[in-house]
């Protein structure tokens, strides 16, 4: 897909991290919680296999790899530009794989050679429609080893509308108190990338067909729990929450 300097990759990954503060309350703590869960279920295993789904440039994958140096960590995303940023910036600590989550045969593109110990995702699976998400949960349950874990850190509303309104306000106030609202947002990041002489041609080469459809779902917490249990996960529940930002754990 072309060359990219390490300096350019570092600059744009840093900007990616900053703009993501708009969309994930207490993002760093959520990453730490997810890494804690992965570390817990992989303790004592010699070569854990971990998937980061909808990874973007691999920021969460890199944190998990740093925590678990013996693990093989795959950053899975449909966007080749983001994966190029990740592979250039983080190097061989993570393996970047292009795949459209939920598309027919998407797991085959990962070339998995053993059962998965942990599959994680953060601020990504809400783009999938309910039927697609149901299929993804079921497919992942089939690839995880017994005792393996699926961790979804995302915007998930409480079941009660009134409690959801309260949670949303709590999340907003938390972000304001901790100065988490970055100056750059999603649109300005992509506009800036398109204007960068080094990234612009790579961005243009992606093509519309490589962008996933944004079906979206309005599943509440109990809706996710229901889908996960139907997919084959025996133990499911939220282990962390700030506002609408949840970390949901499902054990195979």
* pLDDT average, residue stretch 12-24: 88
24 lies in a domain?
yes
66 pLDDT above the threshold of 90: yes
Encode pLDDT of 172-198 as tens digits.
Answer: 888 778 766 556 888 999 999 999 999
Rounded Cα distance, 19 and 22, in Å = 6
95 lies in a domain?
yes
In this structure, what CATH number is given to the domain that contains residue 217?
3.40.50.150
Count the domains in the chain. Answer: 1
Encode pLDDT of 87-115 as tens digits.
Answer: 999 999 999 999 999 999 999 999 999 99
1 lies in a domain?
no
Residues 6+ apart with CB under 8 A from 71: 42, 47, 48, 49, 50, 64, 65, 117
182 lies in which domain range? 6-251
134 lies in a domain?
yes
Name the percent of the chain lying above pLDDT 70. 94
Please report the sign of the dihedral spanned by the C-alpha atoms of residue 127, residue 130, residue 133, residue 135. Answer: negative
Q: Tell me the pTM.
A: 0.92
Residue 227 burial by Cβ neighbours in a 10 Å radius (0-12, 13-18, 19+): buried
Q: Six-digit token pair at 102? A: 């939920």
Rounded Cα distance, 127 and 136, in Å = 12
248 pLDDT above the threshold of 80: yes
Phi-psi region of 130 (alpha: psi -120 to 50; beta: other; left: phi over 0): alpha
Radius of gyration of the chain (CA): 18
């Amino acid at each position: 897909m072309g060359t990219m300097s390490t300096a350019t990759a570092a600059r744009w990954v840093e900007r990616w991290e900053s703009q993501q503060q708009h969309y994930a309350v207490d993002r760093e703590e959520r990453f730490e919680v997810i890494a804690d869960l992965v570390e817990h279920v992989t303790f004592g295993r010699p070569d854990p296999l971990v998937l980061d789904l909808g990874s973007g440039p691999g920021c969460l994958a890199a944190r998990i790899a740093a925590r678990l140096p013996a693990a093989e960590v795959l950053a899975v995303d449909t966007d080749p530009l983001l994966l190029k940023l990740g592979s250039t910036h983080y190097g061989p600590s993570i393996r970047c794989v292009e795949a459209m989550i939920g598309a027919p045969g998407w797991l085959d593109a990962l070339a998995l050679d053993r059962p998965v110990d942990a599959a994680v995702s953060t601020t990504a699976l809400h783009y999938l429609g309910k039927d697609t998400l149901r299929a993804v949960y079921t497919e992942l349950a089939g690839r995880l080893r017994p005792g393996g874990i699926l961790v979804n850190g995302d915007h998930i509303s409480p079941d009660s509308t009134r409690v959801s309104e309260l949670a949303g306000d709590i999340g907003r106030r938390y972000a304001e108190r901790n100065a988490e609202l970055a100056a750059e947002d999603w649109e300005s990041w992509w506009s800036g990338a398109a204007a960068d002489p080094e990234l612009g041609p790579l961005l243009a080469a992606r093509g519309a067909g490589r962008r996933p459809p944004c079906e979206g779902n309005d599943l509440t917490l109990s809706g996710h729990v229901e889908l996960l249990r139907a997919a084959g996960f025996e133990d499911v529940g939220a282990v962390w929450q700030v506002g609408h930002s949840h970390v949901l754990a499902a054990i195979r």
